[in-house]
Structure formats: C-alpha cells, structure tokens
Structure 1
Amino acid sequence: MMKKKVVTLLCTAVLTGSMIAGCGSASSAASSASAASSSASSASSAAAEVTEAASSSEEVETVSSSSVSADQAAADKVAALIDKIYVQERTDTTDEDCKAAKEAWDALTDTQKALVEGEYADPDYFGRDTGDASKDDPLNEDGIGENEILVCSFGTSYNDSRVQDIGGIEKALQAAYPDWSVRRAFTAQIIINHIQARDNEVIDNMDQALQRAVDNGVKNLLIQPTHLMHGAEYDELSEAVSKYADKFDSVKIAEPLLGEVGSDTSVVNEDKQNVAKILTATAVEKAGYDSLDAAAADGTAFVFMGHGTSHEANITYDQMQTEMNDLGYKNVFIGTVEGKPADTECSAVIQKVHDAGYKKVILRDLMVVAGDHANNDMAGDDSDSWKSQFNASGFFDSVDAQLEGMGRIPDIEQIYVSHTKAAMDSDATVSSSSEAN
C-alpha cells in the first residue's frame, strides 16, 4: 500500500506541473514551467522520503515478526522437551532429557517462558514455586542392611508437601524402627521426572528401589504404602513387588491408611474411624474453634475433598461419610475432585452443605499429600476449583481452604507405624508373580 501511495503522489505532482505549463502567456508559461519544474522536483524528493520511510517501516515489521517467531520457536522447543519427559515410563534417555529440558528453560527470556505451551507443558512446570527441594531427603542411599522398610508413595512435585507429608511418615517409621533402614520409592514416573528436571533431585521408581534392595543384599523387605486405600495404585504396587518377591527371604506389604475397603457403605473399620476423628479435630483446631459443635453453632461446615477413583474402592469415600455421620459430625461433608462416587461430586456437595443451612465453608484435602489437587483443584483461583465453585454458588458468606496433607499429622503418622508393625508380626508374605501363575 505504501508503494502505491508513493506512485500516486509522484504522478499527481507531474500532472499538476504539466497543467500549469499549458496555461497563460509565454512569460507566464515560462514562469509556470519553472514553478512546475520546482514543484516536480519537490514532489520527487518527497516521494523518495516516503519510499524510504515505507521501506524502513517494512523492515521494522519484518524484524518484529522475526523476533516474535524466534521467541515462540524457543518456547516451543522447551514445551516439546517437557512433553517428552511427561511420561509414566522411564527410558534410557530420561536422565539426559530431564537435563536438556531444564537447560533449555534456563536459556529462555521471561517473555519466552510465558509462551511455553504444549500437550502437558506450561510455564508452571519449571516456574511455579513449590518450596525448597534441598530440605528433602530422597532416601536413595545404599548400605541398607538386611532389613528394609520401603515407603511407597504416588509422589508429589510440591517440595514443601513432599518434605512435610511424605517425609513426615518416613521419619516416623525410621524413629519407630531404628533397626530397619527406611527407603523411598514413587510410583509416578511423571512426578519423578518433574522433580529431577526442575530440582536435580533423583528419586527411585519402584523398579529402581526394588533393584537397589536386591543389590544391597536385603533379606527382609517390608513395603509400607502411603496410599489412602486399596485402589488402582495399590494394585499396581503389589504387582510390581511380586516380580521381585523371590529375590528376598521375606516380602510383606502393609495396609494403606484406611485399611481394607469393606463390602458396602455401612462397613467402616477402625482405621477409617480413627482418621475421621483425627482429621476433623485437626481441621477444627486450625480453624480456631474449640470444638466441632462450636463451629456448627457458628454456621461453619467442613468439606474434606479426596481424589476419587473409578476403582471399586471408590466406596471408601461413602464409607468415610458414613463414619462422619455415625460420629455425629453433622457439619462434615466428604467430596472428591474426580466426582467418583457421583454423590461426592462438587455440585452435589455444594447442595448438601446449602440444604443443611451452613453459611461458612472450610475446605480441606482428604489426601495424604497436599499436592497439585489440593493447591489447584481445591484451593486454586481458576473458575473450576472447588473454592471458586463454592463462591460462585452464592450460597455462602465465606469459603476458606486449609492446605495440609494428612501425612504431616503426628497421629496419622502413627497409624502408618501401627500398620508397619502389624505387617512385621504377620506370617503373610508376598508370592512371586511366577508362583502366582
């Protein structure tokens, strides 16, 4: 468009000059011709300036476009590297891939970091502040000895939660059983890779931890899951352990936090009862109330949000609600972020709390670790978080959240300690997968 304007301006100037030269007397014509010549010269000069300006503008646009393209290309490279390590299987190149992703991220400008977006990648993968990883102990040392307690967790990339929740359970077990070596394994390779890439902290997966035990000559291996229930993760853990069972003198697996599942919603074991009492008492104290009844009198309800599962163990959440009801905890409600079982879905819980007449809500995670689900799905600022949905309902005067995993509660840690002791004292051992077949 700029070039067309230049040509038009030039043609107009020349035409104007010609018209002036063709009118009036000879002297006038001469004078006019001179003026026309001058005018044409000025027009030509102006046209040159416009052309130069247009050329300069086009160059600026090209440079700007090139800069944006380069920024996006750099961001896309990092996104691709993050997506490559956002996988559940460890590969021969995982260590190199984690290192490459972090180095590429560190080389980005702040502008470029904001552009990172992939199938799983976003700026928070490396950019979110989750605490100081240096405070954590991955418990991957050798020199284990003959007796090992392997604490198996799903895992979390939230550093502070890993230290307080998972680390709290590990420390409690080591204190209770000083003659045993406590080691760690995570079942989520995605999380292991995230921590390794971002913080350069290496945590064993199940195969690595079990092979470490074999290489160290462990004879008696006891697996203590930090899982909440006998769900899909517990089943996968049991299968992984069975492949190594014939490499030890004895292999035992202790109960998860809530123990056996039970046949229906009315079947509640001692573990569930104890967890219900401990979790509620902790939440009430943190909220500043003298008792749960005092909170109810103040119009406050407590909503404990678990994960939810499509596994048959999803009945566990209804059993926890049954236990709360049996204990007379009328202002305590159980929900799940996955909405399984269906009656624990967020909108259903909102309606229950509203129908019960409570005007204040305190959300707290029914999870061993206060990780991504607690921080984002429960207490996050996005419109689909539980806190946002409770507020958006318009039913409540206030909605607050407590971000604390159960793994940091001393009485909860002692339930794991008792489960470990029960497994030690039991004659039940894990059969190898070859024997099972």
Structure 2
Amino acid sequence: MRSVPRRRPALSGLLLALFMVLAMALPAFSGHSAPAKDKSAILVVAFGTSVPEARKSFDDMDAAVREAFPGMPVQWAFTSNIIREKLAAEGRVTDSVPVALAKLLDAGVTRLAVQSLHAIPGEEFHEKLVHVVTNFDGFKKVAIGQPLMSTDADMAAVADTLLATFGPQRAEGEALVFMGHGTHHPANIYYPGLQWYLEQRDPLALVGTVEGTPGLEWVVAKLKEKGAAKALLVPLMSVAGDHARNDMAGDEDDSWKSVLAGEGIAARPVLQGLAELAPFRALWLNHLRQAVAGLDEN
C-alpha cells in the first residue's frame, strides 16, 4: 500500500512566517495605545484692530512672545466679531477664540497658555476669553494669563511705567492724559483705580475713558482746575486703532484733541499702542510667564 506524504513541514513553515509577521506588527499596534506626548503652545488673544498702522503693536508683541518662549508655537485670536468681519472683507482671515482653540487641539496641543492683551479684565476678557476657554474640552491643561491690569500691584506697575515712558516726552507744565476705552462692566473700576495711583506720583497725570468713567468732561474740569494749558494725549490701549486715531486725535469737533482745544488746552496726541513699547510688553509677558509656568502643574 502506498503511504500518504506528510504535510507537517509546510504547515510548520506557514506558522513560523505568520508568527514573524505578527512580531513585526506588534510595535505598530502598541504605539496606538501609548499615551500621546505632551505638546505646549501659546494663544495670544486681543480685541483686534482693522487699522493697518496699528498692527505694529501685534507684530511687535508676537516677536516678543516668540523670543521669550522659543520652541513654543504661537497662535492669535481676536475677540471682536466686528473687527474679524472687517478684516475678512479685506481678505484677511483671523480666528475667533473657539476656532483658534479647535485648530490648536487638532494640531495635537495638549497644554495651552492663553494670554490676554486686554487692558482690564472686562466683558471681552471674561465673556469672550475666559468663559470660552474654560468650557472648551480636550486639553490636558489650560492656564490663562491676566490682562495688563488685574491687581493692585499691576496698577502700580502700570502707573510707574506710564510716567517713566511718557513723562520725558512732555514739555514743561504739560499734563499727561491717558485715554482708556471704558466699559459698562464692573471692571471699569480699574480706570479710577489707576487714576489714584497716578495722582500719588504726578498731579498732572490723568486717566479718562471713551465709554466709561471718568469721561472727557471730568478730564477737562481737572485740567482747568490744575491750570494746565497743554496736554500730551496717550492711548491706554494695546493698539493705537480707531479710538486713538479718531476719538482721541481726530480733527472732528467731538474728538478729545478738538474738545480740549476748544477749552483753551493745546493737545498733542501720541499715536502708539502700548504693545508697541517694550516696557509694556514686559508687563504682559510677566503674566504670560505665570501662565506658562502653570502648565506644569497637575
């Protein structure tokens, strides 16, 4: 009787080949279950501007942030819907805070430092930055850097920096008038608070606001009370945008420059945003450093 040939050697070879394939594939499969490596980034958030000349503030701030934190990706977002729409009509796409957060998450960022370029912690900061960021899921850690003025120490530092920066630029007897935006939000109290700190240092340094308290009428009354015949007008904002160029320095009858001139006070406007100036960028960067340090906390 003819014997049937055995197939075991072929079967053994097949099993060995299958084992080798599986062994080679194991590292790839195991990589999917391994935890993703942490990636940190910075998101700078400003109200925004549609004035081309004012963008220098943001360009300078962007360069300062990248220099201070080399190796960390830096993204930007504007909180103003109106500004983003104006820029979009010009072909310049800018992100809102939610869109910027989604892009960063999609890029694999796990730890995010968000720095505000607002002057005070008002509605734009709380509603369009803090509220959105704290309710956005997906990041392992998010830390928020405070606006320019958030504490008593901040206001004292801002008062010192304002006087050190603009004091040498004024003529003898010339008052310093800082124009803030102002708000109906309770955070408007930061402007009178800053005024108190300035008064302790220089009786000819005043703070007024476009849409809050104290207003221009108060500024005019104070300048007259102090006998000031001239004033240096400075925007108390990160950029010298529409408010600075029109409400403060414009030629219209209701601009601060024109109103002061009508009261016999010669006004000399400064068209520089605070973020264009290194001493003020340093104050914002101090807040950002605190936020970046907070990313290492569990």
Q: TM-score range by the shorter chain?
A: 0.7 to 0.9
- Structure 1 SS opposite 2:77: strand
**Where in structure 2 are the equivalents of 1:107-186 lying within 5 Å?**
146-162=39-55, 164-186=56-78
1:153 and 1:226 in contact (8 A); partners too: yes
1:226 is aligned to 117
1:400 is aligned to 268
1:311 aligns with 2:163: no
1:252 and 1:428 in contact (8 A); partners too: no
Residues 383 and 316 (structure 1 numbering): CA distance in 2 closer, same or farther, change over 3 Å? same
Q: Return the offset for 1:399.
A: 1.6
2:241 to 371, 380, 386: 371
CA distance in structure 2 between the partners assigned to 1:184 and 1:275 by the alignment: 24
1:270 is aligned to 153
- Structure 2 SS opposite 1:238: helix
**Where in structure 2 are the equivalents of 1:273-422 lying within 5 Å?**
273-287=156-170, 295=171, 298-327=172-201, 329-338=202-211, 340-341=212-213, 344-394=214-264, 396=265, 398-422=266-290
User: How many residues align structurally?
Assistant: 260
CA distance in structure 2 between the partners assigned to 1:275 and 1:165 by the alignment: 17
Larger Rg belongs to: 1
CA distance in structure 1 between the partners assigned to 2:119 and 2:197 by the alignment: 16
1:157 and 1:191 in contact (8 A); partners too: yes
CA distance in structure 2 between the partners assigned to 1:405 and 1:214 by the alignment: 31
CA distance in structure 2 between the partners assigned to 1:421 and 1:230 by the alignment: 18
Q: Return the offset for 1:427.
A: 7.0
Runs ≥4 in structure 1, deviation > 4 angstroms? 427-430
CA distance in structure 2 between the partners assigned to 1:233 and 1:252 by the alignment: 17
Q: Return the offset for 1:302.
A: 1.0
1:238 aligns with 2:130: yes
1:210 is aligned to 101
Q: Which runs of 5+ in 1 are unaligned?
A: 1-144, 261-268, 288-294, 431-437
Which TM-score applies when normalising by structure 2?
0.83
1:228 and 1:367 in contact (8 A); partners too: yes
Q: Return the offset for 1:157.
A: 0.3
Residues 429 and 227 (structure 1 numbering): CA distance in 2 closer, same or farther, change over 3 Å? farther
Aligned AA (2:43): L
Q: Return the offset for 1:413.
A: 0.8
**Higher RCO, 1 vs 2 (CA within 8 Å, ≥6 residues apart):** 2
CA distance in structure 2 between the partners assigned to 1:314 and 1:411 by the alignment: 23
- Structure 2 SS opposite 1:227: coil
Q: Return the offset for 1:282.
A: 2.1
- Structure 2 SS opposite 1:305: strand
Aligned AA (1:349): V
2:12 is aligned to none
Q: Return the offset for 1:393.
A: 1.6
CA distance in structure 1 between the partners assigned to 2:66 and 2:295 by the alignment: 22
1:234-271 deviation line (CA, Å, top 9, x unaligned): 11111111221x301111111111123xxxxxxxx222
State percent identity of aligned pairs: 36
1:254 to 134, 139, 145: 145
2:142 and 2:295 in contact (8 A); partners too: no
Aligned AA (2:161): I
CA distance in structure 1 between the partners assigned to 2:156 and 2:191 by the alignment: 12
Which TM-score applies when normalising by structure 1?
0.57
CA distance in structure 1 between the partners assigned to 2:157 and 2:277 by the alignment: 12
Aligned AA (2:210): V
1:317-373 deviation line (CA, Å, top 9, x unaligned): 01111111122x1111110011x22xx111111010011011111111111111110
Which structure has more strand as a fraction of its residues? 2
1:279 and 1:406 in contact (8 A); partners too: no
Aligned AA (1:194): K
Calculate the aligned-residue CA RMSD, in Å.
1.8
